[in-house]
Amino acid sequence: MEELTLFLLVGVALLVSLSSLDDMFIDMMALAISRTTSDFRTDNIILIPEIAVFIANWHEEDVLEKMVEGNLARIPYPSVTLFLGTYPNDTGTLTVAQRLEQRNPNRVRVVVNPLPGPTSKGQMLNEMFHQVFAPGAKNYPEIVVLHDSEDVIDQRTFPIYAAYTNAGFDFIQIPVFSFDRGKNAYVAATYMDEFAERHTREMIVRNAVGAMIPSAGVGTGLTRRLITHFLATRAQVLMSGTVTEDYILGIEAKRSGFKAAFAAISADDNRGLDFVATREFFPRTLQASIKQKTRWVYGINFEAMRKLGWKGDFWDKYFFIRDRKGIITNFLPPISMAMLITLLFGYPDLTTISDVTYQLITMTMWFNLIALGVRYIVRVHACYKVYGTTDFIGIALRWPVSLYINMTASFRAWKTYLGESQFATKPIVWSKTAHELPDDFIGAKR
């Protein structure tokens, strides 16, 4: 038994070290990349093309009016139109959407799904693509931007989409960040830390090395050329029957030969503050967060791996590993912590092992401790770049919450994959979370 414990101790320590090396490599790459906006200046973009903002809805009557009116008040471009996808049996949302269309006839259009809801977000979006780009339809938009009904849209994104499209890009993803949730929202604020770290380093590296850019589901711009290609070749833009159709779309775009970009642009080029980004509130309860992340983990690690495989160049395969390693690494922190506690109580007895094994354990533990410190500093710095504050204590307090959520979500994703998967045996239906908008967001009257 003691030998088995020792074997597990060494194995877990080495896996943690390997994952830490992977993270540190991305950190060094991000530091080496000089992010510049000189190639994509937006101040000389005078004409904004016809842009359709697609917003798929299912029971969003509580927030939709506030979201649409608030964003329209902030978007100064008449060529930007909001398309609201609704279901015939969701009368509450449909009524609100039709009222918004009547109030803003030049800026809002309602798309009614012929199928009763809920189908899935992917099916709804595909139906919207079919209706807007139907043969014989007039004024096809040049760009479609995907958003959700809880998004606060940054008006500066539209010149960015136009600039990147003019430069030959067909898939443009802008950063997505959580609003500042304050000190006591320990669950919701974990999204602040994670998205800040991911979208100020890893996505920057992906863009620089030419790897595939996964869609975040919101703040994703697609050109008419890309949309019509997928409609012509497979009669749908988003892969049907999936729970992470947005992630898959980004990979399929590159495989189909389209140029993709992660457009991380900020008003403060020196410090990175004031990013042009989509901002929203993420789930505030533990249950809602675990449910959402279970879908993400299952979709990216199991569903996308089954449907997409490992095809791609070196960087694509490398980032596939990074995207999918969480199904193992999310379990390592609590396991390693438990083993460290047993070591403090003298089990297993390290005095009886060989010098080589003892040195290996000692070196990996010290390295992992240093790597943990580096990871903490990187996260603090990433949050500073997004929020302009250095929250040492808050990030430290939220970290265990984040680890627990990710571990539980990974466990449930494994359970779904190995057991009677509802995703595999039942039709994919809308996975909905409660949505909210900032209290000071402009309401129904402008």
Q: Is 294 helix (H, G, I), strand (E, B) or coil?
A: helix
Global pTM value: 0.90
Shared-domain flag, residues 404 and 292: no
Shared-domain flag, residues 268 and 353: no
Distances (CA, A) of 154 to 109, 277, 308: 20, 6, 32
Shared-domain flag, residues 51 and 77: yes
Give the CATH number of the domain where residue 252 resides.
3.90.550.10
CA geometry: angle at 286 spanning 289 and 395, to 5°? Answer: 85
Residues 216-259: pLDDT tens digits? 999 999 999 999 999 999 999 999 888 899 999 999 999 999 99
Which one has a higher pLDDT value, 446 or 392? Answer: 392
Asked whether 223 and 135 are in contact (CB, 8 A), the reply is no
Answer yes or no: is 357 within a domain: yes
Answer yes or no: is 194 within a domain: yes
The model's confidence at residue 444, banded by pLDDT at 50, 70 and 90, is very low
pLDDT value at residue 425? 45
- State yes or no: pLDDT of 426 exceeds 90: no
- State yes or no: pLDDT of 95 exceeds 50: yes
Structural domain count of the chain: 2
CA 433 from centroid of its chain's CA atoms: 15
Write down the mean pLDDT value for the chain.
88
Q: Which of 270, 301, 332 is the last residue of a domain?
A: 301
Shared-domain flag, residues 244 and 195: yes
> Residue 315 belongs to what H/E stretch?
helix 314-324
The mean pLDDT value for 274-286 works out to 92
- Domain boundaries, position 335: 2-31+323-420
Max alpha carbon distance in the chain (Å)?
A: 80
Shared-domain flag, residues 222 and 76: yes
pLDDT value at residue 382? 94
Q: Which of 269, 301, 333 is the last residue of a domain?
A: 301
Nearest CA-CA partner of 303 in 176, 198, 422: 422
Helix axes 121-132, 224-234, angle to 10 degrees: 100
Shared-domain flag, residues 251 and 119: yes
- State yes or no: pLDDT of 108 exceeds 90: yes
Instruction: Please enumerate in sequence order all residues whose Cβ is within 8 A of that of 372, keeping only pairs 6 or more positions apart, or say none.
Output: 20
Residue with tokens 């042009």: 276
Answer yes or no: is 309 within a domain: no
Residue 54's Cβ-side half-sphere holds a number of Cα atoms within 13 Å equal to: 29
Lowest mean pLDDT segment, chosen from 88-102, 170-184, 264-278: 264-278
Question: Rounded distance, CA 317 to CA 332, Å?
Answer: 23
Nearest CA-CA partner of 386 in 282, 281, 218, 274: 274
Shared-domain flag, residues 268 and 402: no
Asked whether 113 and 126 are in contact (CB, 8 A), the reply is no
Helix, strand, coil tally for the chain in percent (to 5): 55, 10, 35
The model's confidence at residue 443, banded by pLDDT at 50, 70 and 90, is very low
Burial class (CB in 10 A: 0-12, 13-18, 19+), 379: buried
Shared-domain flag, residues 145 and 104: yes
Question: Rounded distance, CA 168 to CA 149, Å?
Answer: 29
